[in-house]
Chain A
Amino acid sequence: MLIFRRFANLFARSRVEREIDAELRSHIDMRMEDNIAAGMSAEEARRDARIRFGNAAVMKERVTAMDASLAVANTWSDVRYGFRQLRRYPVFAITAIVTLALGIGATTAIFSVMNAVLLRWMPLPHPQELYYLHLPIGHPSGYGASQTGDDATSFSRPTFEYLRQDLRAFSEVMAFIPLSNDKVAVRKGDMPEEANGEMVSGNFFSGLGVRMRLGSGFKMEDEQHHAPLVVLSFAYWTHLYSRDPGVLGQALYIKGIPFAILGIAPEGFSGVEAGQSTDFWIPLQSRPELNPWGNSPDVNTLYGSPNWWCLRLIARLAPGVDAQRAVAEATPGFQAAAYASLGKPDPKQPKVTLSLVAAKGIQGLGDNYREPVLVLMALVTLVLLIACSNVAMLILARNASRRREFGVRMALGARRSTLLRQLLVESALLVVGGALLGWLFAEGATRALAAWSQLEVSLAPDGTVLLFAGTVSALAALVFSLAPLRAATNAPVIAALRATAATSYQKGRSGNAVLALQVALCFTLLMAAGLLLRTLMNYENTNLGMRTDGLLVFGIAPQQAKTNEAKFAFYRTLLERMRGMPEVESATFVETRLGTGWSSNDEPTVDGVKVSFEQVPLRTNDVGPDFLRTFGIPLLEGRDIRDTDTATSQHVVVVNETFVKKLLPHSDPIGHLLGNPKKHPYAIVGVARDSKYRSVDEAPRAMAYYPYTQDTGAPPTLQVELRTKGDPLSVLPAVERVIREMDPNIPLEKPMSQTAVFEDSYAQQRLFSRLAMFFGLLAALLVGIGLYGTLSYRISRRSTEIGVRMALGARQWQVLGMVMRESLLIAGLGVALGIPLAMLTGHFMGSMLFELEPYDRWTALASLVGVVSIGLAAGYLPARRAASIDPMQALRSE
């Protein structure tokens, strides 16, 4: 109650003051009346009343102080006083606030990423019940889940049908299959486009619990009838239709087939693909053009190939069932369903098993980000530690220099608690300022990170991040509250008053320990940054085995061509047109674009002898004529694929060095046969040097290049590769013109330079190394500032001592050496502490490194040089100042 009135008084100060005025006036008036009654004149009466009352202004002030009570009003005045103090020392305030903001901002930004990648649930009802279904040891048909991306996540249709009706384990099982391992062609009106599309089971939206923004989701009948209906994501609706609510029922052409728009998904739901957003969803389809993953229907189809493991699944647990029990319930039936179509399980092979992965963050489909994000989080925490300790030392130093002020105030009657409260308020002001500025930094940084990382997830800070930033700031505030405690309350009044420069100099052992620890952290950060930088350099300098510069690549899918013949004819004409362009030196096709992380895989059969995939995994790619020449891959023996290799000519294949080493080590490989001897085996006609296929960091594997013309069916999409003169992207408009002449409906899918494709394959590593570099430099800067500040402060306190030394004959260089020694000693101690810490960090970073040891000697040396340079630079300026002290001046100022 009282506290409320005090608050009320605080805000209604003017009203309170008016009342006090009235009360005091009535007192004086009553005294005057009595005086007049006692016989004084009016003038005398007033004089007497005023004299008795004393100084009215002082009294009013005192009464007001009683009313607008102690705690509340004083806190407010502390805040105002704190502001004034900080304004008086703007350099101190700005340094502290910016340092804190950098620390808090960087930490918050990285935590945002961690939140999005590892922690955040999907924006759906009861997200904790949602699990991705995985196959922990891969799927049973032996080698890769042909053309389905990842064999740990792909299921066959019979197993899906079994799992979705097993209601003991799951209340719903939803299937989703990308229409392509990239984007697919989409057309609205005359505008060809490309978009990420998936086909999904009928319960996809209802099972996940997605509440449509507009229209409705699919029903089970839509899956059974393969209804030509499409649901758009909010983002794609915005992009394509500018959020026009009248789009429902309109036609959208997907791979040339019309689909009616049924609904719009809500904002924030971008599908269930990890780290990717889906633009549209259609029910599962049986049309050959819409085969799963854009695969040729000649090999496998969704409804015709029970052994094709191509569906991705996400499930909602049955009520009251946890993940472990669901797996136990579903496994026997799942295995039965799997082996019903596969035939008896191989007793030598482990049986196919099921596992559940929580649909949280983006780890559902691969743990690529987990470790790097955790490492980054650890690194940025070190930066925060450095920043906080810097500010703490700064505050400590400033409070120490204010000891005389505290002493005076205490001598004048200020209570110790009052001083302490004031210091706490000042620290709190710094932290609040730093946190607010840091939040702004974090907002900008997450936006930049989202752009760089090419992660299609929202990194925008949410409630969890806000809570995190708040906690970090509160901890920082606590640390800084403890710092002034020491300096202020330990100051005995008399000593503080009497203190002069000479007597107040303390050795500052604990200060040195903090500095050394900072140097250790900085060393660790520099080491981590160096390792990641060298990893990036290794990526950049890896020999790809080909000449990528000057190569332009884009995908193309002949939508109008229905038959294999028509498609082959289209590709042939296309290649001729491309070759005819003056800017093009040579042109070829590949079915799987190089450097995207995708690959085709097979079990090799050489001269009729089958070799298991475990022994020699064979990578394959369908390519066009002049493949080796266009890519600049050296031919070691035999010949390249030629125009004369057609469907009707002898089947041929070009292999690589590793193929020969592993499969035909002792003979001339030319002429040997690859593939089923009964069905057109492929004769080896050439041997190429090893080159990269999926990514930069892969080890060489046996490779077979088949002419695309000799495949069983025409590939639905091919990647056109053009060797151009000069900048490949400058040729693009001319290429587009030529393609439009052939078919105006066909978009060029993802046109880029081949160099950029490979560079994108390590974009994640580039991002991480840039971030680590930033952290390392930030740490170096902060530690440098901290060291410089502390040394300068010490010099300023010791100027008398140094003056005496110099008066007694110390040379300038001796003084210089004395200060530099102190700085280097701290740096040396820090390195000694930092080496084990850096080794530990390197150990955890092992999986992030490419062709590099975690204890890389050169990186360690470079970090050492970095730290020592910081020590030298931070020590030099104060040392020079110390050496230039004029002894007479220093002694006189005492």
Chain B
Amino acid sequence: MARNDLQGSLDLLVLKTLSQVGKLHGYGIVLHIQRASDELLRVEEGSLYPALHRMEQSGWIAAEWGLTETGRKAKYYRLMAAGRKELDQAEKSFDQLVKGVRAVLKYA
């Protein structure tokens, strides 16, 4: 999958990550998506932080400062109720998209 195609799904991936892991900082989210997708997906770091802050302003996720395992200060994000709802929505519409694309590919 090309990098650009990830853009629309970035919100979905971040929300899903947070719903699975709980609290995580931006760098952790990047690593998690990379690992969970078997290195198939690479989050463009330049897009991640604006997205995180946008979602925070929209009330989907909340942020707080915490310490990493190595004792470094980092900003941790966690999922809020509104974000959970958003995640459901996004998952459903992504499924639809995948179904649609598959159907097209079958006949193509």
A binds B: yes
Chain A residues near B (Cβ < 8 Å): 2, 5-6, 19-20, 22-24, 26-27, 29-31, 33, 52-55, 58-59, 62-63, 65-67, 69
Q: List chain B residues, Cβ under 8 A from A23.
A: 26, 49, 74-75
Q: List chain B residues, Cβ under 8 A from A19.
A: 75
Contact between A54 and B49 (Cβ–Cβ < 8 Å)?
A: no
Q: Give B73's nearest chain A residue, CB to CB.
A: A26
In angstroms, Cα B57 to Cα A2, docked, is 7
Q: Give B74's nearest chain A residue, CB to CB.
A: A26
Q: List chain B residues, Cβ under 8 A from A6.
A: 57
Q: List chain B residues, Cβ under 8 A from A20.
A: 49, 53
Selected from B49, B58, B70, the residue in CB contact (under 8 A) with A63 is B49
Q: List chain B residues, Cβ under 8 A from A5.
A: 57
Selected from A2, A27, A29, A62, the residue in CB contact (under 8 A) with B50 is A62
> Known: A22-B73, A59-B46. Contact between A31 and B57, CB under 8 A?
no
Secondary structure class of chain A's binding surface, majority of residues: helix
Q: List chain B residues, Cβ under 8 A from A69.
A: 57
A746 CB, min distance to chain B CBs, angstroms: 84
Contact between B45 and A26 (Cβ–Cβ < 8 Å)?
A: no
In angstroms, Cα B68 to Cα A62, docked, is 25
In angstroms, Cα B73 to Cα A26, docked, is 7
Selected from B45, B70, B72, B74, the residue in CB contact (under 8 A) with A54 is B45
Q: List chain A residues, Cβ under 8 A from B26.
A: 23, 27
Q: Give A1's nearest chain B residue, CB to CB.
A: B59
Indicate whether B99 reaches chain A with its CB closer than 8 angstroms.
no
> Known: A26-B25, A30-B68. Contact between A52 and B74, CB under 8 A?
no
In angstroms, Cα B65 to Cα A20, docked, is 12
In angstroms, Cα B58 to Cα A19, docked, is 19
Contact between A2 and B59 (Cβ–Cβ < 8 Å)?
A: yes
Chain B residues near A (Cβ < 8 Å): 25-27, 44-46, 49-50, 53-54, 57-59, 68, 70, 72-75
Q: List chain A residues, Cβ under 8 A from B50.
A: 59, 62-63, 65-66
Contact between B53 and A66 (Cβ–Cβ < 8 Å)?
A: yes
In angstroms, Cα B63 to Cα A20, docked, is 12
Selected from B53, B59, B72, the residue in CB contact (under 8 A) with A30 is B72
Q: List chain B residues, Cβ under 8 A from A30.
A: 25, 27, 68, 72, 74
Q: List chain B residues, Cβ under 8 A from A27.
A: 25-27, 45, 49, 74
In angstroms, Cα B50 to Cα A59, docked, is 7
B64 CB, min distance to chain A CBs, angstroms: 11
23 CB contacts below 8 A, A to B, read A2-B57, A2-B58, A2-B59, A6-B57, A22-B75, A23-B26, A24-B49, A27-B25, A27-B45, A30-B25, A30-B68, A30-B74, A33-B70, A52-B45, A53-B46, A55-B46, A59-B49, A63-B50, A63-B53, A66-B50, A66-B53, A66-B57, A67-B57
Q: Give A26's nearest chain B residue, CB to CB.
A: B74
Q: List chain A residues, Cβ under 8 A from B45.
A: 27, 52-54
Q: List chain B residues, Cβ under 8 A from A33.
A: 70
Q: List chain B residues, Cβ under 8 A from A58.
A: 46
Which one of B58, B68, B75 has the greatest number of beta carbons of chain A within 10 Å? B75
Which one of A2, A5, A62 has the greatest number of beta carbons of chain B within 10 Å? A62
Given contacts A19-B75, A59-B49, 9 further A-B contacts (CB under 8 A): A20-B49, A22-B75, A23-B26, A26-B72, A29-B72, A53-B46, A58-B46, A63-B49, A67-B57
Q: List chain A residues, Cβ under 8 A from B68.
A: 30
Q: List chain A residues, Cβ under 8 A from B72.
A: 26, 29-30
A66 CB, min distance to chain B CBs, angstroms: 4
In angstroms, Cα B49 to Cα A714, docked, is 102
Q: Give A30's nearest chain B residue, CB to CB.
A: B27
In angstroms, Cα B59 to Cα A719, docked, is 87
Q: List chain A residues, Cβ under 8 A from B75.
A: 19, 22-23, 26
Q: List chain A residues, Cβ under 8 A from B70.
A: 33
Contact between B27 and A67 (Cβ–Cβ < 8 Å)?
A: no
Q: List chain A residues, Cβ under 8 A from B27.
A: 26-27, 30-31
A436 CB, min distance to chain B CBs, angstroms: 35
Q: Give B53's nearest chain A residue, CB to CB.
A: A66
A-B interface, 8 closest residue pairs, ranked by CB to CB distance from nearest:
A54-B46, A66-B53, A62-B50, A30-B27, A23-B75, A66-B54, A26-B74, A27-B27
